[in-house]
């Protein structure tokens, strides 16, 4: 059986939701286009062993919407989309699967550009690129976007620290990095170099041992994160870590991390604000990866990427200043900034 694409009912406000299947290649994937108002939709491909299709749809739609906001705030001339491949990346992934995924992307005719995300590497994306020119983040081109994501988060974290503590000097600040994947580890290295008192947690012991030995980090168990005394929490694993309960227990003054969709629901932002905790919206601060990918899409040099990393740090400063002056949540200010961009473009 060849590749099939089936349009599913997209949630209200979304443009398209597609189920891509190729049983012979082992592919079952969802591709979601949230908005192409500002340009073709762009966002990574994630591979995860979801419990069922509903869980996969919930994830891909939240991620796609987040990409619209992220790409808008980073001024990339791109809309928002996302893809998820259903399966275990460690055991199920094959080159044939990735080529079939590339065929699915190609069938969308350039309305969606894909790149790597959780469970997908530049080498995997190279297999997808054999079937489509709309696969980016390739070795020899923009490459692994993780270092760029980490650099962007680090710059934004320092801006947040200046607003929260009166200085961006991180010397002695207790910072807990939750998740030591490519982005989390790179961020941890930057924090250690900046003199932070680094704490780390991850589900993989080897990553913890490395951070403890090489960076002098204190290790904490994954289920003990919200028992720790800290100044800054940097969530860099999967989303939904800030629930109403964990937000109530959190001791940090600032939250700034690379994970997508860190808030379990919108009401968590109110809880954090009521407790005097500054939360920097993830879609603003973790845009470094898509900035790197966008440079490949648009054919731009490293200087272009660096300019946009500087720009997102500037937007964080603008967002926090406006939030303070208008007594609003930073997340509400950021959402309004994106809403204004989309409305202006639609009107034009």
pLDDT one-digit tens code per residue, 62-100:
999 989 999 999 989 999 999 999 999 999 999 999 999
Domains, the chain, with CATH or none: 4-64+80-129 (3.40.50.10860), 146-287+315-339 (3.40.50.720)
Averaged pLDDT for residues 36-55:
95
Residue 127 annotated as binding site: no
Residue 270 confidence (pLDDT): 94
Q: Is the pLDDT of residue 188 over 90?
A: yes
Contact between residue 44 and residue 117 where contact means Cβ atoms under 8 Å apart? yes
pLDDT score recorded for residue 199? 98
pLDDT-based confidence at residue 144 (cuts at 50, 70, 90): confident
Higher pLDDT, 105 or 142: 105
> What is the percent of the chain with per-residue pLDDT over 70, rounded to a whole number?
99
Label residue 1 by pLDDT band (50, 70, 90): low
> Residue 171: is its pLDDT beyond 70?
yes
CA atoms of 200 and 211, how far apart (whole Å): 8
* pLDDT at residue 214 in the model: 97
Q: Which of 70, 82, 93, 190 is catalytic?
A: 82
Quick one: pLDDT at residue 260?
85
Give the model's confidence band at 142: pLDDT under 50 very low, under 70 low, under 90 confident, else very high: low
Residue 182 annotated as lining a ligand binding site: yes
As a whole number, mean pLDDT of residues 310-320 equals 94
pLDDT of residue 289 exceeding 90: no
Please check if 183 is assigned to a binding site.
Answer: yes
184 is in an annotated binding site: yes
Mean pLDDT of 213-237: 96
As a whole number, mean pLDDT of residues 272-299 equals 92
289 labeled binding residue: no
Q: Which of 132-141, 163-172, 195-204, 300-309 has the lowest mean pLDDT?
A: 132-141
Residue 141's pLDDT band, with cuts at 50, 70 and 90, is low
Residue 344 has what pLDDT?
86
pLDDT of residue 271: 96
Nearest to 294 by CA among 42, 48, 97: 42
Confidence of residue 40 (pLDDT cuts 50, 70, 90): very high
| Residue 82 known to be catalytic | yes
261 pLDDT band, cuts 50/70/90, is: confident
Mean pLDDT for the chain overall: 94
In the chain, pLDDT over 90 holds for what percent of residues?
83
Q: pTM of the full predicted structure?
A: 0.84
Q: What are phi and psi of 172, to 5 degrees?
A: 80, -5
Whether residue 146 has pLDDT greater than 90: no
Is 179 part of any known ligand binding site? Answer: yes
Looking at residue 106, its pLDDT comes to: 98
């Amino acid at each position: 059986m060849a590749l099939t694409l089936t349009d599913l009912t997209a949630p209200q406000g979304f443009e398209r939701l597609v189920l891509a299947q190729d049983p012979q290649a082992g592919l079952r994937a969802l591709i979601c286009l949230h908005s192409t108002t500002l340009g073709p939709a762009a966002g990574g491909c994630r591979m995860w062993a979801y419990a069922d299709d509903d869980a996969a749809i919930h994830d891909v739609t939240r991620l796609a919407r987040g990409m619209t906001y992220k790409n808008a705030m980073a001024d990339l001339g791109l809309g928002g989309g996302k893809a998820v491949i259903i399966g275990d990346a460690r055991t199920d992934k094959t080159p044939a699967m990735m080529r079939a995924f590339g065929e699915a992307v190609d069938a969308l005719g350039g309305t969606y550009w894909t790149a790597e995300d959780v469970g997908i590497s530049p080498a995997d994306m190279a297999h997808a690129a054999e079937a489509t020119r709309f696969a980016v983040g390739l070795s020899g081109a923009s490459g692994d976007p993780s270092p760029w994501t980490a650099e962007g988060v680090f710059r934004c974290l320092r801006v947040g620290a200046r607003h929260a503590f009166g200085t961006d000097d991180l010397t002695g600040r207790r910072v807990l990095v939750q998740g030591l994947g490519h982005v989390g580890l790179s961020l941890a290295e930057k924090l250690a170099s900046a003199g932070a008192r680094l704490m780390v947690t991850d589900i993989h012991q080897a990553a913890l041992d490395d951070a403890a030995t090489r960076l002098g980090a204190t290790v904490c168990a994954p289920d003990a994160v919200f028992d720790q005394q800290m100044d800054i929490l940097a969530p860099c694993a999967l989303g939904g870590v800030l629930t109403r309960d964990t937000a109530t227990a959190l001791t940090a003054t600032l939250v700034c991390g690379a994970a997508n969709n860190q808030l379990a629901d919108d009401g968590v932002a109110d809880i954090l604000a009521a407790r005097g905790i500054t939360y920097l919206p993830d879609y603003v601060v973790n845009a470094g990866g898509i900035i790197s990918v966008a440079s490949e899409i648009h054919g731009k040099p490293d200087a272009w990427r660096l300019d946009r990393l500087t720009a997102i740090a500037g937007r964080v400063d603008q967002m926090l200043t406006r939030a303070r002056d208008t007594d609003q949540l930073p997340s509400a200010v950021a959402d309004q900034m994106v809403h204004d961009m989309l409305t202006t473009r639609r009107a034009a």
